[in-house]
Structure 1
Amino acid sequence: MGGKNTILTKFALAGTKNGTISVSHLEEPYGNGSFPVVSIGISLKSNAQEPDWKAHIPYENIDELINALKDAKEHFNTEVK
C-alpha cells in the first residue's frame, strides 16, 4: 500500500542518538485513486525511508494540525515555567 514517497525534510529526533523525524509527500497512500497525504515519520535509528511510527495527514488538515501543535507547545512552555 502507498505510492511514491518523497521526503521533503528530516531532522534529528530530540532525546535520541540517531533518531529522525521526516516529513514526506506520499502519493496514493491507500491504493489507486486515493488522495496524497503528508506523512510524518519517526525513526529511532535514522532510517527515514522505513520509520518506526508514521502518521498520514490529509493536506486539508495541515492548518488545523499546525494550530494544534502550536497549542501543545504553548501548553508545554506554560507547564515548564
Structure 2
Amino acid sequence: MPSKHIEVKTFKLAHSTDDTLRIEHIEKPYGEYSSPVVSIAVFSHGKTKTSEVEIPYENIEEFLKALNESIALCDSIPRNPIHAELNSEIGGGA
C-alpha cells in the first residue's frame, strides 16, 4: 500500500508574496511497515515544493522544544523597531 498524505494545515509564509508552508501527516512514508511522520514543506508560488523535512512522531516533543528555544533566542536579540530610521509607523518611498 502506498503512503497516504493527510493535510493538516497550509498557511502563507510571512515576508513572502505567495510562498506557503504545508504540514501533513504521512502514513507509511517509506513502505508498508514504516512509522508515520510529520512533513513540513515550503511551496514557492503555492505550487512548487522547494524544501521539505519529515520528522518522526517520536521526535516531535524535542522538535517543539527546540522551536520554543529558538523563539526565546530570537526575542532576546535587541532589534530596532520597524521603520525606526524613518521615525514613522509606516515605510515611505522616494
Q: Do they fold alike, i.e. is TM over 0.5?
A: yes
Secondary structure at 2:49's aligned position in 1?
coil
Cα deviation code 1:45-77 (max 9, x no counterpart): 113xx5211111111111111110000011011
**Is 1:64 matched with 2:62?**
yes
Larger radius of gyration: 2
Structure 1 unaligned regions, length at least 5: none
Gaps of 5+ in 2: 80-94
Give the letter for the 2:50 counterpart. Answer: D
- Return the offset for 1:80: 3.5
CA distance in 2, matches of 1:80, 1:24: 34
* Secondary structure in 1 matching 2:77: helix
Give me the CA root mean square deviation: 1.5
TM-score, length of structure 2 as denominator length: 0.75
> Which residue is 1:41 aligned to?
41
Any idea what the Cα deviations from partners look like across 1:12-49, whole Å, max 9, x if unmatched? Answer: 111211111111001111122111100001112113xx
* Secondary structure in 1 matching 2:70: helix
Q: Where has structure 1 moved over 2 Å in runs of 4 or more?
A: none
> Paired residue for 1:27?
27
Alignment identity in percent? Answer: 32
With structure 1 as the length reference, what TM-score do the two structures score? 0.86
**Length, aligned pairs only:** 78
Worse-superposed segment, 4-13 or 50-59: 50-59
